[in-house]
Structure formats: structure tokens, C-alpha cells
Amino acid sequence: MADKAQRDIEKYPLGRTGIEITPIGVGCWQFAGGRGLAGYYWPGMSEETTNGVVKTALDGGINWFDTAESYGNGRSERNLSKALKAAGIKNGEAVVATKWQPAMRTAGSIKGTIDKRLDFLDGYSIDLYQVHMPMSFSSVESEMNAMADLVEAGKIRSVGISNFRAGGMKKAEETLKKKGLSLASNQVHYNLLHRNIESNGILETAKELGVTIIAYSPLEQGLLTGKFHKNPELIKSGSRMRRMRLMATPNILEKTRPLIDALDEIAEKHNATAAQVALNWITNAHGNTVVAIPGASKVPQMEQNVGSMAFKLTDDEIKRIDELSKQFK
């Protein structure tokens, strides 16, 4: 691992936990081995490719990885563990985040399944454990109390949530506070073409509570790279599920073109790419409140993600991008 890169990249606080993370982390849904819902998006990655992606992230200074129980029913966790071992990373040298799957379950499942999560991670501790979505058979309070018990038992270091609204964030924080803890994060869909957290209270609440926002799909399924604008035929490639989620209709391509053109223009000034500018905006436009977890199924994609931390947009560039994308709030 490149120790110099680890030192040079500014770390952001993960909520008020004392844990520090790089502005860019690694989303690990694609490590699911082509199983589960992930299989509708990505084919299985070879062990060599997975290891290469993880090593490239580490060599570039990225220090954290986000996976989940539902990503292939533990396969992503296991493949991440294997890749970290292949890179020579010991427990505690990288920050590992994973998630409990709440669907059709109660909060009792949080304690009942934690050992299985740790088994899949095979020697790596859980630094951040998140409730994947607000849809279990239990209340937020019950879930947070169960999570707090895991912290007390030394099974996890901190507690987060995902896809929760502002009200749910406040309930989670209030419950954890009674246990002497704080809510670390809320992982949500956020990018330049999906900015609703800025208008529905989520971002405002995060800043008020000192909660980190973890942005997933930060490149909107590749739409913000500009590749589909340059070559619309690429829309036909990839899985059917990804094409449906992408929503790259001719109308959307035309509507977003002015933003993409600006990203390209700004990228040229920084010897970067439109995707890197889009990621840089997310992680700098709101101070250190927002971090991002782009995925990568190929080493060059991870190299690009790493490169998004090699420069910093000017205030004028951030403002220009904001103006061109504010219609997507």
C-alpha cells in the first residue's frame, strides 16, 4: 500500500466517531460474484480483477470500503476480505463498512446475524454497521438499541443508516445519544443529477447533527462520465437492469448536455475527466459532510476514482457546476 498516498490525501471525519476516511471510498456491490440482485447489474468478477481493483484503491490512498449483507448474501464481504488479504492489509489498516439487511426482519436479527457478517469478513472488524433501509418489522428505536448493544459488545465500532429520511435520522440520533453514542452516517443516492437531499431536509439534518452523508451512485450509473452523450450506442450495452436504471433517454441526454459540456471544460483545466470533476464536486461542495462510494469493476475505473482526489475545484467552478445542475434538486 502506498503510505505516502495515505498521508497526502485529506481525511474526513466519519460523523463524530473519531474514525477518519478518505473523501472517496469503494462501493463493493459489484464484488457479489454475479449473485443476488447484483447479478442483474454486473457479471461475476474474477478474483484477479477484484484483487486488482482493491489494490489500486489502496495504492491510490483510499482507506475504506463499503459492502453489505445483501450484496450476494455475503459474497461481497467475503471477496473484499480476500482482496484485502491479497494486498497485505491487516485488520485495522483499512476501514470496513457493511450493512444489515432489514427486509422481512425484526431488530432481533441485528444481533442474531452479526457473527455471520464477521465470519464472511474473515478477520476484519466492522468499523461502520448500517441499517440498509428503513423497512424492517421493528422501529428505528429498536434497531438503534440493538446496534448500540453491538458497539458495547465490541462487535462493531460505529452505527449508520442508509436511505433514511430526515425524521428517521433524528430518531436514530436521539436513540443512540441515550446510549452515549452518535449516528455516524446516512448512505443515500446523491449526485449532480439527483440532488433531492438538498431540498428534502436530509443534507440539512446531516449538517445539524454532524452526520456524514455517504453518496452512492455518485456518477448516476455512468451518465455523468459523458460517455453516453458522446456515443449513445453505449446505452444498449450492459445488463437490462442497468439500462432500465440508467434512464438515458434522448430527452435526458439533451437536458443534461450543458452540464456534461461544463464538466468536460473544467476537467481539461485540471488534466482530469468529467467523472473526476463530478466526484470532486460531491466531496467538496459541502465541506467535509459528503463522501462518495463509486464502484469499479475494472482497474482503470478505480484509477479514475482515485484521480478524483488529486485536485480541488475552485469556488467559482463549484458555483458554476451548482448553477448548471440545480434543476435536478
CA distance 94 to 158: 15
Residue 151 sits at φ, ψ, to 5 deg, of: -65, -45
Instruction: Reduce the DSSP state of residue 252 to 3 states and report it.
Output: helix
Domains and CATH numbers, the chain: 3-328 (3.20.20.100)
Q: What is the mean pLDDT of residues 287-309?
A: 97
Provide CB contacts within 8 A for 58, sequence distance 6+.
1, 2, 87, 89, 94
Do 120 and 77 contact (CB within 8 A), yes or no?
yes
CA distance 286 to 318: 10
Do 66 and 293 contact (CB within 8 A), yes or no?
yes
Q: Is the pLDDT of residue 85 over 90?
A: yes
- pLDDT level of residue 253 (50, 70, 90 thresholds): confident
Q: What is the mean pLDDT of residues 157-171?
A: 98
Do 138 and 107 contact (CB within 8 A), yes or no?
yes
Q: Is the pLDDT of residue 63 over 90?
A: yes
What is the length of the chain? 329
Q: Is the pLDDT of residue 5 over 50?
A: no
Report the pLDDT value the prediction gives residue 222, as an integer from 0 to 100: 87
- Per DSSP, which regions of the chain are E strands? 12-13, 20-21, 26-27, 64-66, 95-100, 128-131, 159-162, 183-189, 212-216, 290-292
| DSSP track, 263-276 | HHHHHHHTT--HHH
- pLDDT level of residue 2 (50, 70, 90 thresholds): very low
Provide CB contacts within 8 A for 221, sequence distance 6+.
242, 245, 246
- Tell me the pLDDT tens digit for each residue of 91-108: 999 999 999 999 999 999
Q: What is the mean pLDDT of residues 221-227?
A: 89
- What percentage of the chain exceeds 90 in pLDDT? 84
Q: What is the mean pLDDT of the chain?
A: 92
CA distance 62 to 9: 8
What does DSSP say about strands 20-21 and 12-13: parallel, antiparallel, or unpaired?
Answer: antiparallel
Report the pLDDT value the prediction gives residue 326, as an integer from 0 to 100: 93
Q: Which residue out of 12, 40, 41, 71 is catalytically annotated?
A: 71
- Tell me the pLDDT tens digit for each residue of 135-154: 999 999 999 999 999 999 99
| DSSP track, 94-163 | SEEEEEE--TT--THHHHHHHHHHHHHHTT--BSEEEE--S-SSS-HHHHHHHHHHHHHTTSBS-EEEES
- Residue 24 DSSP label: B
Residue of higher predicted confidence among 242 and 224: 224
Residue 95 sits at φ, ψ, to 5 deg, of: -90, 125
Given its phi and psi angles, is residue 193 left (phi above 0), alpha (psi -120 to 50 degrees) or beta? alpha
Instruction: Reduce the DSSP state of residue 191 to 3 states and report it.
Output: strand
Q: What is the mean pLDDT of residues 62-78?
A: 96
Asked if 124 is an active-site residue, the reply is no
CA distance 18 to 294: 23
Cell of 117: 457478517
How many C-beta atoms surround the C-beta of residue 233 within 10 A?
7
Q: Minimal CA–CA distance to 157: which of 208, 115, 95?
A: 95
Q: Is the pLDDT of residue 250 over 90?
A: no
